Every structure is written in structure tokens, then in C-alpha cells.
Amino acid sequence: MPGDIHARLAALPAFPALTGARVRLREPRSDDADAVFALFADPAVMRYWGSAPMRSRMQAEGKLEEMREAFARREALDWIVADRRSGAALGTCTLFRFDARHRRAEVGYALHASRWGQGLATEAVALALDWSLRTLGLHRVEADIDPRNEASRRLLLRLGFRSEGLLRQRFFIGEDATDSELFGLLAQEWRGRDR
């Protein structure tokens, strides 16, 4: 049945590894803790993220454990984005909130600031979208961003997402009530886009 996303997730024999020209999406490993800590401890990376920067390496170890457990329960696919050549962990790319009834999921991503502006996150998210739209039979992928997050908004627009509306003061980041902009991409738009 085309809508049976949970069955397709359950049938995955292992964490899917996806390879692009410059990045590789792979399963999280415990030796990624230093890189994951460097990523999520950086206030620049966390500026529009829903949580405070990490303060200890243990938090990164805990996050890696959660990433692995989420896949074991088939609740999320939380990839490590690695440099294809060196293997260095550069960031994360996540598909989560799978909704089998409505054949949709949400996408999120973060990249180490030293590698911003090189198109690497766009490549990583494109790999995750292409794989998930084909393999899981998703109909729609959503992303929810702070509208001030220009890099994230441009990434989504570049990949064919459309801005579908602004939800006012939906999240507190610290003491600030921040707006949330919802983006959506339909499977037929992905298949039909110019490459």
C-alpha cells in the first residue's frame, strides 16, 4: 500500500547511507561525539534552534544515543552529514514526525559554521529528500523555520519548497516569542523540478 510509511521504515535492514558528490549521509556513531558537541555548542549554529547551545560533551553523547534509538524505533532518520572524502562529521540532517496517514514528514538540518556557504547543506537535504520521497513514498515534506533564518529559507526555496504561511510568536527562544514560517514540498514538485 503506497501510504504504509511505517512498514517501509520497519523493512529497512539498516540505517540508510546516502552518497552525494561532496557529502555522505550515514548512521550516527559514538565517535561522532566531539563533532556533534562542536556543532551544537556553537551559539551561531543554535541561534534559531529550539534549544540552548550544549555545554558538555556528555550532552552530545546523549544526543547520539537518542539519534540511534530514534532509528531503532523507526521514529526518525537522524543522519550524520560527513565530508565524502575525509569522512569528517560536518553536521546532521533529520527526517522526523512521520505521519503515515497523511504520508508526510518534517526535515531539519545543521552544519558546522566553518563549512557554511558551500552548498553542502543543500546537497545533504537533497539526498535525504530524494531517498525518502522514493523509498518511503512520502507525499509531502515540511520544514518549520524562524523567518529570520535567511540561510535556511534560501536552502528550502532552492530545493523547491514553498513558503506556506507565517505563524506568529509560536516558539519561545529564551524569553523571545518568535515567529515560525512553514514550508512545504510535494512529491510531484520534487519529481518535476529542473536539475
Q: Summarize as ranges the residues that interact with ligand COA (CB under 6 A).
A: 45, 48, 108-111, 116-122, 145, 149-152, 154-155, 158
Q: Is the dihedral of CA 94, 97, 102, 107 positive or negative?
A: negative
Q: How far is the CB of 177 from ligand COA (least distance, A)?
A: 17
Residue 56 or 118: the one with the smaller Cβ distance to ligand COA is 118
Q: Work out the number of other CB atoms within 10 angstroms of the CB of residue 102.
A: 12
Q: How far is CA 40 from CA 47, 64, 90, 109, in A?
A: 10, 12, 11, 11
Q: How far is CA 120 from CA 44, 173, 178, 193, in A?
A: 17, 27, 27, 19
Q: How far is the CB of 123 from ligand COA (least distance, A)?
A: 7
Residue 64 or 100: the one with the smaller Cβ distance to ligand COA is 64
Q: How far is the CB of 182 from ligand COA (least distance, A)?
A: 11
Residue 17 or 157: the one with the smaller Cβ distance to ligand COA is 157
Residue 4 or 142: the one with the smaller Cβ distance to ligand COA is 142
Task: Determine contact, residues 38/30, Cβ cutoff 8 Å.
Answer: no
Q: Work out the number of other CB atoms within 10 angstroms of the CB of residue 136.
A: 21
Q: How far is the CB of 8 from ligand COA (least distance, A)?
A: 25
Q: Which residue has the cell 541561534?
A: 47
Q: How far is the CB of 82 from ligand COA (least distance, A)?
A: 14
**What's the CA gap between 100 and 5, in Å, rounded?**
5
Residue 2 or 165: the one with the smaller Cβ distance to ligand COA is 165
**Which residues are CB-neighbours of 186 under 8 A, at least 6 positions away?**
139, 140
